[in-house]
Chain A
C-alpha cells in the first residue's frame, strides 16, 4: 500500500477544501465520487458542466466540485437551473440536492420541471431526514421512523420519489443506494445521454442524524441494511417503490422514455415567431 497526497479525483475536486464537512460514513462523498467518474467517462467538456444545489448537506456537494457550481437558496435549485440552461443551452446542467430540499420546500418546482421536460439531470440524495439541521422529519421519512421532531415515531406517509417523478413526466427515473456506486455512475451516464428531465434517487446513510435513532448504530449498519434489503429490478412499476422503515428497498431503472424536450419546444417557438407573416 502506497501513501500518496492526491487522488485521481482531485482534478475535478476543489481539493483545497478537502476534507469535506460530512460525517464519517455519510454517503455524500460516494455520490460526489460517482458524479466525477461519470463526467470523466462521458468525456464531455468539463467547462460545460454546471452543478446547481439548494440547501442542506447534499447542497454542499457543488462546493467541492471543480466545475461551475451554484449553491442557491433552500428549495430553489431547480428553477435556478432552468434559467441557467435556457440562457446557455450548451451547458450540461445538473441539480444535486437532498430529499427535503427538492421535495418539501422545493416540491412545486421539481414537479413542474418534470412536466416541462426541461433538459436537466437531477440527482436527489435521500437520507430520509433533514440532516444538516440535526435530523428532523422530512417528506421521505418512513412512517414510524424516529426523528428529532417525531419523537414518538413519524405519523405521516412518505413520498415514493420514483413514482412522483414518473407521474410528473420525467423521461428517466432510477433509484440506487450508496452501496451501488457503479450503478449510480452508470445511471448518471445514461441520464446524460437523454436530453430531457432525468431523475436519479440515491438512498444514502445519515448515521449521525437518522440512522442511530432508527436501530442502525452507525453507517456500516445502514450499508449492511442496504446489502440485505436492496432488490434490483429494472423496469419495475414505480408504484412499488414505497420505502418502509425496515422493508425492502426497490432499486433499478424505472423509466427510460423519449419525449420532446423543453429546449426543442423553445427552438420551435422562436422559429414560429420569426416566420414571415407571424
Chain B
C-alpha cells in the first residue's frame, strides 16, 4: 500500500527526515484525467508526450530534480484508474514508520441456534390454507420471510411472524413488496431458505425482482394468494386471474415453476415441494393459491420429520477462486455458492457469462437464455404433477386447478350419475404446462372444458395443446366460485 507518508525523527541528528518514493505506473490504464499531476503536493509529475494504447498522455516525472516524491501516496488515491502508485525508495525503507493503527471491527450479533426447534409439528391440525403454507415453509427449513401485509395472504405473514423466531428464523415486515422480494433474494444468497407471500397488487410489484431471481438463478418461494383484479379489484374475494402473470409477469424470455394447491393439506405439502424444486433447479418457484384455498380451514396432517423429503442446494465442487459460479452441470443447473464462502461471487441482473461477468455479446445471451430455460424444459416431466379423476373412459375432460377443481370433481360425479362420461384433469403444476399429457388426452377425447375463475387464461394453453379436440370454456370473473350445477350444465351443453 502506497501510504507510507511518514516523517520520522532521526535519533542521532535530531532532524526530521523526509521519506522519498519511487513511482510506478501502468501506462495503458491511464485515461489522462491529470488528477495525479495537478494534485501532487510536490508537483513531481507532468503530462508526457507519448500516447498510451487508449490514446491518452500518461504522466511522467518532471525534470527538476529538486522536486522529489515524498511517498505520500496521494497520486494513487486520486487516480480513478488504479494506474499509479508509489513505494518508499531504498534509502527511505529504513526510516521507521508510524505503526499502523488497529481498527476494532465489531461483529454483529448472531441469531441464537435453537436446539430443539419446533419446526415440524407432527400430528393432525385444523388449519386454513395460509397457515398450512406457513407451516409447510417452516417444515421445509425456511429461515427468512420478507413480506408486506396484503389481503388475503396476511395469515401467512402473521403465522410466520409468530413461528419464525421459535425456529431461529427471521420475519421482517418490509416497507413494500418490492423490498420484500429483494430481501428474499438477498437472504437466499446468504444461505437461508427464504420466501414471501402476497396477493395481486403485491405480486405485480414483485415482478421485476422475480426476473432478477430467474436470471441470477436464485432459489426462493413466492406465494400468491390470488384475489380479484385488476388493480385493487376484490381484495377479500377469490379469483384465479394471475396465472398468466405467473407465467409471463416478468419481462424477457424465461421459464417459471408454479404450483396450485386445492386444499390446506396441499398448501402444506406443496410449499415443501416448491422449496425442493427451487433448490433442485436454482429458480424462483411460485405457489399460486387462491383466496378460497387460503381461507378454507380443514384437517392437515403433518408427517414425522423423517418422512419429509428436503432438497438442499448443490454445493460447488471446485475450490473457491477457481469455480466459475455459473458453470452448469449436465443437468444445466449450476451449483450454488453462498456469500461468505470465499467464492467471490458476482451476481448480476445483466446478461452474464459463466464467471458471472456482464457481457453484451449476443452469443452469451443466446447461451444464457437457452440454459436457464432449458434447465426447466428438459426436466418438465419430473416437475409436472397433475391429478386424473375418472379419465379412463372419459369423453369430456374438464380441466381445472385450485379451488375450482373441487367444484369440478363434484360436477363430474353428477355428470356420471346422468350418464355423461366426464372426467377431470387437475393441474397441480401450472407451469411448466403439462402439454404432453394434454396432447395425449386430446387423442382420445373430443371435448375439453376449462373451468377457471378468470375470463380465459389457462384455456389458451389447453387450446394450444388439445388440437384437434374442441375446447370449451366456463369462466367467472372473480368474487365467487362456480357451483357444481353451473359446471354440470356446461358439461351437459357441450356433450349434447
Contact = CB atoms under 8 A, between A and B. Distances in A.
Which of B29, B166, B343, B349 is the most central at the interface, judged by chain A CB atoms within 10 Å of its CB?
B349
Contacts of B166: 273-274
Contacts of A68: 189, 339-340, 343-345
A83 B185 CA distance: 7
A52 B187 CA distance: 12
Contact of B346 (A26, A62, A79, A90): A62
Interface in A62-101: 62-63, 66-73, 75-76, 78-92
Contact of B56 (A24, A80, A119): A24
Interface stretch (A146-154, A155-163, A189-197, A244-252): A189-197
Interface stretch (B31-39, B310-318, B449-457, B460-468): B31-39
B404 to A, nearest CB: 34
Interface in B174-226: 174-176, 178-180, 182-192, 194, 208-209, 211-212
B107 interface: yes
Given A72-B212, A79-B182, A220-B34, A86 B172 contact: yes
A73 B85 contact: no
A8 B146 CA distance: 40
Contacts of A10: 82
B374 interface: no
Contact of A19 (B31, B212, B343): B31
Contact of B25 (A2, A55, A261): A2
Which of B26, B109, B166 is the most central at the interface, judged by chain A CB atoms within 10 Å of its CB?
B109
A165 interface: no
A225 interface: no
A80 B82 CA distance: 29
B140 to A, nearest CB: 15
Interface in B65-122: 74, 76-83, 85, 100-101, 103-112, 114
B60 interface: yes
B179 A271 contact: no
A84 B106 contact: no
B368 to A, nearest CB: 15
B26 A87 contact: no
A89 B191 contact: no
A7 B30 CA distance: 12
B58 to A, nearest CB: 9
Interface in A1-48: 1-10, 13-14, 17-20, 22-30, 32-34, 37, 40-44, 47-48
A268 to B, nearest CB: 9
Interface string B329-344: 0000000001111111
Nearest to B48: A1
B112 A88 contact: no
Interface in A251-278: 261, 263-264, 266-267, 269-274
A81 B29 CA distance: 32
A189 B104 CA distance: 10
B389 interface: no
Contact of B143 (A2, A87, A89, A261): A87
Contact of B108 (A34, A263, A269): A263
Contact of A79 (B39, B77, B186): B186
A223 interface: yes
Which of B79, B108, B174, B208 is the most central at the interface, judged by chain A CB atoms within 10 Å of its CB?
B108
A43 to B, nearest CB: 7
Given A88-B190, A274-B166, A63 B358 contact: yes
A86 B80 contact: no
Contact of A90 (B24, B103, B108): B108
B144 A87 contact: yes
A219 interface: yes
Contact of B82 (A9, A84, A220, A269): A9
B110 A29 contact: no
Contacts of A170: none
Given A18-B82, A68-B339, A192-B105, A270 B165 contact: yes
Given A19-B81, A76-B179, A79-B182, A47 B111 contact: no
Contact of A181 (B77, B112, B192): B77
Contact of B208 (A6, A73, A189): A73
A8 B112 contact: no
B479 interface: no
B104 to A, nearest CB: 6
B170 interface: yes
Contacts of B78: 30, 178-179, 181
Given A19-B81, A179-B39, A272 B60 contact: no
Given A47-B342, A181-B77, A63 B186 contact: no
Contacts of A108: 175-176, 179
B112 A271 contact: yes
A212 interface: no
A84 B172 CA distance: 12
B27 interface: yes
A8 B29 contact: no
B1 interface: yes
A144 B292 CA distance: 55
B1 A8 contact: yes
B175 A274 contact: no
A26 B78 CA distance: 11
A73 B358 CA distance: 14
B112 A193 contact: no
Report, nearest first, the 3 A-B pairs whose CB atoms are least far apart: A87-B190, A29-B80, A83-B186
18 contacts: A9-B82, A19-B31, A29-B80, A63-B358, A69-B345, A70-B339, A72-B212, A72-B347, A83-B144, A84-B190, A108-B179, A109-B182, A182-B77, A220-B35, A223-B39, A267-B110, A269-B165, A274-B112
Given A26-B80, A69-B347, 12 more contacts: A2-B22, A2-B24, A34-B77, A40-B1, A48-B340, A67-B344, A71-B348, A72-B349, A76-B179, A86-B144, A112-B174, A195-B107
